[in-house]
Amino acid sequence: MVAKTLYDKLFDSHVVTEENGTAMIYIDRHLVHEVTSPQAFEGLRLAGRKLWRISSIVATADHNTPTNGWDKGLSGIADPVSRLQIETLTENINEFGAKAYFPFMDSRQGIVHVVGPEQGATLPGMTVVCGDSHTSTHGAFGALAHGIGTSEVEHVMATQCLMQKKSKNMQVLVNGVLGKGVTAKDVALAIIAKTGTAGGTGFAIEFAGSAILALSMEGRMTLCNMAIEAGARAGMIAVDDTTIEYVKGRPFSPKAEQWDAAVAYWKTLHSDDGAVFDTVVTLDATLIQPQVTWGTSPEMVVGVDGKVPSLDLAKNEVQRADWERAYAYMDLKPNTPIDEINIDKVFIGSCTNSRIEDLRAAAAVAKGKHVAASVKLAMVVPGSGLVKAQAEREGLDKIFIAAGFEWREPGCSMCLAMNADRLEPGERCASTSNRNFEGRQGQGGRTHLVSPEMAAAAAVAGHFVDIRQFV
């Protein structure tokens, strides 16, 4: 038998038909949110089509929901355009149906990539799609998961299938033990530093190696979440005991004898010995430092003890031009030490870093300290209502509030700044999110991507500090 990669196994087991190198693949789970679905539902309505399989749909509102003022309910959403979009999702789900819907302010509402896994709606071996590029997150479970556009959202709704060309296989191998204070976020950024933001284009990435297998599920989700920032639509990690332990007992996880059959199958979800990858990228875990982005693309990143790179390090003319624009946009000079960069705001949240483990790590840094006077706003936005409740049971909210952080309601918030949470022009932010593009967190805003620990430490110090030396 031909040795297969994990991606090959997941792809091949979902092929309905194949013609001229394009396969029709079956989709097991379709996650839906308010921003990329209204036009798809409208398309179904206009064509007189229905959902192919209602039980595949799990929906929530996350991108555009406010993170405060929930006591006023829907009327607390000041922007009528935002409110209409959130109400439209409810109307569409009422009309078309769903296996589960967690509307605005439901106790289980939250970021779709946090909610899916915590409900057990994301399972190993699944194909998972969502009209959101960070759907790659779910690959942490040994699933084939990727973002799609709204036309494809409609296609999956109507047919349960997608037309796909198979990607090439990339293995990212990270061996060794991560140093103290070095997280999955730093691994992700260190990988992107090496591959560039287009290095994974056309590939499905499997993350492997001892440093990856040592990660918790939260850490694995952080890593797979950022696969798209390396250009790969899908990132994934083989199933092991850590995966199975996480999935067990969740609301939508299989039960009883179905559980045993599922586990037996899930244990086959790894690349076979001798499986061939089109390309392999290796990193030594012991050399990875806490990372801080300095520019306007996730690949513009250095270790915290580094400096903003100078133009002579650019690899070609196109990159030189990119860096010059980034210096100007970020208002940074080449050779500025990272730990001399002062910040105005701190955002701890997003589908990359808003799970309970992220909040625990940030709270451990913030405990007994206080946000620097120069920092205008430091906010913590839990990934879901359940994460928020768990954090409150553990007293994390009190730690954050005592340290001067704002403790908000769940949602995507200032990761993409669609709701009212945003940077003002010129403001500089330490952010645990995934993109530092121009204007991403607000027009003219300047984003530096970091881990939750690094963000909390920056909040306290008022500038970036090396978490390894921060006591």
Subset of residues 314 to 373 that bind another protein, contact rule: CB under 8 A: 318-319, 321-322, 325
Provide, rounded to whole angstroms, the least separation between the CB of residue 382 and another protein.
Answer: 21
**Helix boundaries (H) for 140-273:** 150-159, 184-195, 210-213, 217-225, 241-247, 256-266
Structure tokens at 408: 């908000």
Structure tokens at 9: 């196994």
Gap between the Cα atoms of 5 and 278, Å rounded: 11
Helices 356-366 and 385-393 cross at an angle (nearest 10°) of 40
- Interaction residues for another protein, span 138-177 (CB under 8 A): 146-152, 154-155, 158-161, 163, 165
Tell me the window of 168-176, 250-258, 303-311, 402-410 that interacts with another protein (CB under 8 A). 250-258
For 449, the enclosing helix (H) or strand (E) is strand 446-449
Tell me the window of 66-74, 230-238, 284-292, 335-343 that interacts with another protein (CB under 8 A). 230-238
Q: Which of 110, 142, 231, 410 binds another protein (CB under 8 A)?
A: 231
CB nearer to another protein: pick between 34 and 453:
34
CB nearer to another protein: pick between 143 and 356:
143
Is residue 90 involved in binding another protein (CB under 8 A)? no
Q: Do the Cβ atoms of 135 and 146 come closer than 8 Å?
A: yes
Provide, rounded to whole angstroms, the least separation between the CB of residue 232 and another protein.
Answer: 8
Q: What is the pattern of x (binds another protein, CB under 8 A) and - over residues 7-36?
A: -------x-xx-xxxx-x-x-x------xx
- Interaction residues for another protein, span 408-437 (CB under 8 A): 416-418, 435, 437
Q: Which residues pair with 431 in a beta bridge?
A: 347, 449
Provide, rounded to whole angstroms, the least separation between the CB of residue 437 and another protein.
Answer: 5
Is residue 261 involved in binding another protein (CB under 8 A)? yes
- Interaction residues for another protein, span 285-314 (CB under 8 A): 297
Q: Which of 69, 73, 78, 79 binds another protein (CB under 8 A)?
A: 79
Q: Which of 90, 175, 197, 336 binds another protein (CB under 8 A)?
A: 197
CB nearer to another protein: pick between 152 and 358:
152
Q: Residue 430 — φ and ψ, nearest 5°?
A: -90, 115
CB nearer to another protein: pick between 16 and 177:
16
Alpha-carbon distances of 342 from 16, 326, 338, 430, 461, rounded to whole Å: 54, 17, 9, 9, 9
CB nearer to another protein: pick between 155 and 428:
155
CB nearer to another protein: pick between 437 and 470:
437
Is residue 439 involved in binding another protein (CB under 8 A)? yes
Structure tokens at 413: 């918030």
**Helix boundaries (H) for 52-144:** 80-96, 112-119
Alpha-carbon distances of 8 from 140, 160, 267, rounded to whole Å: 16, 20, 15
Is residue 374 involved in binding another protein (CB under 8 A)? no
Provide, rounded to whole angstroms, the least separation between the CB of residue 237 and another protein.
Answer: 20
Full DSSP string of 169-207: EEEEEEES-PPTT--HHHHHHHHHHHH-TTTTTTEEEEE
Q: Which of 265, 311, 331, 333 binds another protein (CB under 8 A)?
A: 265
Alpha-carbon distances of 341 from 327, 331, 337, rounded to whole Å: 13, 10, 7
Provide, rounded to whole angstroms, the least separation between the CB of residue 337 and another protein.
Answer: 25
Provide, rounded to whole angstroms, the least separation between the CB of residue 259 and another protein.
Answer: 8
Select from 304, 350, 308 the least CA-distant residue to 452. Answer: 350
Provide, rounded to whole angstroms, the least separation between the CB of residue 142 and another protein.
Answer: 13
